[in-house]
Structure formats: structure tokens, C-alpha cells
Structure 1
């Protein structure tokens, strides 16, 4: 091939490569993706030589003859140390950039792959000593089963552009922050945006009801409740039928809206409270039930609080059916909604006045206006 030079390579070696991030290493996907997208080398100074057309390639005789093969080194940092510090630089840095994604498999056990087309920049503290180097092609020649691999030729097809780079002019830059520094919050936000689901629904914390009920509603709004259908998405397989009715797949919408028990219980609560829509069709409408009372701030919060207690009672009943085959009547479930909501509202009533139980059960709206 025109424009190639041969160099004898010994894979037994004077040079040991240490990969900071190797393509074939077993990394958690998010960490690998984050590293590739956010950490970059900034080259502050560089000079170019462009050979004239048809000219012979620039002499790169400063390459050591005994040189370790690069193993799958596409677009990665490799740190090298030389055993013979008197003859070669003790430490230098390789920045390898791909021109294609091809790779060849080698049959000997020490190195399994070699990048077919790559660009390699070699730098050290004295750029005049270790000049170039852009290598855009590397391919083992005559690697057959009959050939001994202690010594073999590697052809180096040189790029038309040569670069000098000073190791002292290199620095890390964090691309997720405009300043180039590394704030933990930028990584946290990146990971959140990558692995957490996006939803148009937002849950606003209800201060009248305890935290675990708010968290339950938040998980429902983002589709993160461990229903049977959601568990099957992460490989936990079992019958996907609703644990309460056993009729349809257990989704959030079915469990709290379409299931016969949930539907009947909600109609009872709507009849008791009188301001709630008894025929809610979707989970997002249920979570946004307080919108019908817009302008009555205190009633909005209480209205939503009763809905949260309803979700909690249904979810607990579902878990009871799933784990112990227990049963409760509709009247018992309705009583739990009334009693739990009264208890939690009384505990957080800023006026210090408790709701009267009989009045709460008979006319909750009037009782709220009187004591809240």
C-alpha cells in the first residue's frame, strides 16, 4: 500500500497500556454513557503540518520498535508506562479517536482486538521529543494460524495531518456545566433526566395529610407504583390480573378507577362528600379532583385529602388480598376512609378544634366550614 511503513511489534513488552475507559469493560451503562458525553480533553495549543500531495510520509522514527498493541482503543484515554525509561519516555498519554468502528479479532490470548481505523495522538511533557502522531490505519499483516505471534509487522498508514501537542496544555473540562467545573448537581440532574421517566403530571404536596399518602399519590402520578403490570416490566413475572377483582390487568387506572370495589367505594365517598364526581374515568382526573372547588382553598385541600385517604385504603386492601387473602366489606372500607381522614385532619388543624365525629359523618362540608 502506498504511503505505508512497517514496524516490528513485540506484544510481550516493554510498554504496558492501562485503559482508563475501555470499550469492552463491564461498566454500568449510565456511568459509561455519562463519561463519554461529559468528560473531554481540551487541547489549548496545537500546530499542524500538511504534507504536499504525493510527498512521502513524514518520518516517525521516534516510535519505539517494541510497542504494545492497542486493544479496542476507540475514542478512549490510554496511559502508558515504559519499562526502559532511559531509552523511551517514562510516561505518555494516548488519545485515540475513531475514523471507523471496525475492529479485527486476533487469535492469541493476550490481546483479542485491534482497532482497524483510528487516530492516535501521543504526547508527553516535551512535545519536540515525541512529535506526531496521527495514525489513521493499523492492520496486522500475515496473521495466520501457522504464524508465531512473538514478532509481527503492523502497517501504519499515516494521516495527511500531523500535530504537535504539549501535555502540559491539556486539562479536563466538564461539559454539563457552562463553567467547565464539576458540580455534583449537574451529574445528578443528568442521571435523573436519563433514567427517570418523564411525565406531564405534577403532584403538589398536600399539607393536611401525612407524607406517606402524598408519596403514594406522587408514585401513582408518575406510573411508579408496584402494580403487577409495572412489576412485569422489570422482569418480575406472574399473573397480571388485579389482586382485588381478578378480572383485568392490574394497572393504576384499573386498580383505582375501573375495579368494581374501587368504583363502588368512590361512589359512596362521592355521595357522602357531595362535591365529588362519582364517575371519574381516568386516574389523572381523580388526582386532580380538587379542581372542581377552585377558589375555595381550604375545601380544596380537604377535598384532595379525602381522595388521598381513598387511594391509601384501596392500596392497603389490595396488599391485604395479595399477601393474606383477607377480605373487607364495602362498609368497612368506607368507614376507614371517614375515620382516617377525620383523624389526620384533626391532627393538622391549625385552629386546634377537632371535627365532631357524628357531624363529620352526616355533613362533612358544614363541619369543615364550622371548625376548619
Structure 2
């Protein structure tokens, strides 16, 4: 299992690259789309900031995943949460890894839902998306466990 620094670097790269993604706002500016409304909520312009941090869909997914994996940080910004996890010394490295993986999976799945809305004209509901994120994180965490892991951490992951 990689160190928290690897997960931190991975998600910060993902979020940084997300800022370069072709949101509807960018596509509208170059004439590819008729409007710039968010494909998920349809209420605001689909900017990077809105899609990943302000859209009700993203906020609800992030809130549920944070609660599920025990992140008690109030921030909705994924990069701030990862910074908090990296600075935090309480808790095991295994738990911090799982929590960082959960934030990474949430970011990825939000973009996946957005792409499905764009290409297939279908929007997954929040419950389905959260359950999918949980399955990804649990499966990834169990397969990547180091040989020496405390029973407490193993039981925690299995209970997720």
C-alpha cells in the first residue's frame, strides 16, 4: 500500500487536471454547446468549481462519503481534505490511505456521472453513485492491504 503522500499526490493531480477538463462552460465558449448549464443539476454554469465543489450532487456525494469513511473535516474541497489527512497524525496510515482513496474515487465518479449525462443523457442518482464509490474504495483497500496490518484496521475496512 502506498503512503499517504502517494494518495495525496494522486488526488491533487486529479483535481488539478480536473480544472483543465472540458466543462460545459468551456465548451459553450468555443461554440460546441448551446448553453453552459451543469449537466447534473441544470441550475448553474458548469464550471470546474461548480461541478466538483458546489453542485448539490457533488456536495451530497462528498458529505456521505466523508461520513462513511470517518472524515470529520467540514471542508468540501477535496484538495483541502487531502491536505488535512496528510497533516493529521491521529489514526493509522491505513485509515488515512482509505480516506484519501475515498476522496479520489469521489472526484473520479463525479466526472464519470457528468460524462454519462453528456454522452448518454442519463444521470445516476446520488444513492447509486455513493454505493458505487463505496464498493470501489472497499475493494481497492482490501486488495492493497499490506502484509502487516492491525486487526483493528482490517476489521474497520471490512465493516465499511
Note the residue ranges of structure 2 that are not aligned, 5 or more in a row: none
| Aligned mates of 1:326, 1:352 — CA distance in 2 | 43
Which structure's residues are more often strand, by fraction?
1
1:241 Cα deviation after fit: 1.2
Note the residue ranges of structure 1 that are not aligned, 5 or more in a row: 1-203, 362-372
Q: How does 1:288-299 map to 2 (within 5 A)?
A: 288-291=83-86, 293-294=88-89, 296-299=92-95
Distance 1:263 1:240, change over 3 A: same
Q: How does 1:297-312 map to 2 (within 5 A)?
A: 297-312=93-108
TM-score norm. by structure 1 comes to: 0.35
Distance 1:336 1:272, change over 3 A: same
Aligned length in residues: 150
| Aligned mates of 2:15, 2:110 — CA distance in 1 | 12
| Aligned mates of 1:274, 1:283 — CA distance in 2 | 15
Q: Pick 1 or 2: higher relative contact order, CA cutoff 8 A, min separation 6.
A: 2
Q: How does 1:188-267 map to 2 (within 5 A)?
A: 205-206=6-7, 216-220=14-18, 223-232=19-28, 235-238=30-33, 239-267=35-63
Show CA shifts across 1:195-234 (max 9, x none): xxxxxxxxx6429xxx7x77533413xx21222234456x
| Aligned mates of 1:316, 1:276 — CA distance in 2 | 26
1:248 Cα deviation after fit: 0.9
Contact 1:267 1:279 in 2 (8 A): no
Contact 1:290 1:300 in 2 (8 A): yes
Show CA shifts across 1:161-216 (max 9, x none): xxxxxxxxxxxxxxxxxxxxxxxxxxxxxxxxxxxxxxxxxxx6429xxx7x7753
For the pair 1:347 / 2:143, whether they are aligned, the reply is yes
| Aligned mates of 1:345, 1:283 — CA distance in 2 | 19
Which structure's residues are more often helix, by fraction?
2
Distance 1:342 1:358, change over 3 A: closer
1:318 Cα deviation after fit: 0.9
1:271 Cα deviation after fit: 2.0
1:349 Cα deviation after fit: 1.8
Q: How does 1:144-155 map to 2 (within 5 A)?
A: none
| Aligned mates of 1:290, 1:357 — CA distance in 2 | 17
1:286 Cα deviation after fit: 4.2
TM-score norm. by structure 2 comes to: 0.74
